[in-house]
Amino acid sequence: MEILGIDIGGSSLKGAIVNVETGKLVTPRHKILTPEDREPEGMALAVKEMLEHFNYKGIVGCGFPTIVKKGVCKGIGNLSRKWMDVNAEKLFEDVTGEDFTVVNDADAAGLAEVKFGAGRNEDGFILMITVGTGLGSGAYLHGELIPNFELGQIPYKEFVKIEDWAASSIKTSENLNYKDWAYRFNVFLNYVFVILNPDLMIIGGGISNNWDDFSRYIDVDTRVVPAELRNNSGILGAALAAVSR
């Protein structure tokens, strides 16, 4: 079965058509920049553009960068405040005419890693951490999703949320080298470990492609591994969410 998966982030939308039985992308990834205002109307049009690029009709899975309950946004994350309480599934369906399943983006990425990637042969309590514009997180106990963990929202010192200090977007904006940024990220991971004591942490998002540049600076009292599907996990997981609904 082939499903379009879309991974919406603070900087871009990435999509591809996915074979959900094999876990393989059957088309190249397509990328569209996230509208600067990150408001519902413009993002819905970007989603429509993604479907048009693939000339796609059918059900669509979409990972979205905030808390999502039954398709409704219950947080704003790094989005416009206008997203609060918006039914993203209905909005995208109205604009495209297709059937959408919308879930938290880190939850989606973790679904893919648990089924096809770094967590596929693991048991116990697994955390997926996605590193990008913010710090996303997905939680899985014995392979079952516990939805809407938002660990990047933990307050830290003078920051409203720790992702404003430790996300990879901050590495870029402050021109940090990998060692200095990894110190911050390691602080975040250790906070998470103390609170939740996971058996495994899987690190995903674009920066996971540079795992060898910073992994030696990560020191947590549990296993920490890179996502095997790397930056494709969000796309694949979104498609999986659509068929497992």
Q: Would you say residue 11 has pLDDT above 90?
A: no
Contact criterion met (CB below 8 Å) for 46 and 34? yes
Ordered by where they begin, the domains of the chain are 2-107+233-243 (3.30.420.40), 121-227 (3.30.420.40)
Distance between CA 120 and CA 19 in Å, rounded?
17
CB-side neighbour CA atoms (13 Å) of 233: 38
- Is residue 71 very low, low, confident or very high in pLDDT (cuts 50, 70, 90)? very high
DSSP string, 21-63: TTTEESS--EEEEPPTT--HHHHHHHHHHHHHHHT--S-EEEE
Q: Which residues does 212 contact at the CB level (< 8 Å), separation at least 6? A: none
Q: Look up the pTM and report it.
A: 0.88
Q: List, for residues 153-205, the tens digit of each pLDDT value.
A: 999 988 889 999 999 999 999 999 999 999 999 999 999 999 999 999 999 98
Q: What is the dihedral of CA 166, 168, 169, 172, to 10 degrees?
A: 110
Tokens of 182: 């990894």
Q: Which of 86, 92, 77, 103 is nearest to 45 (CA)?
A: 92
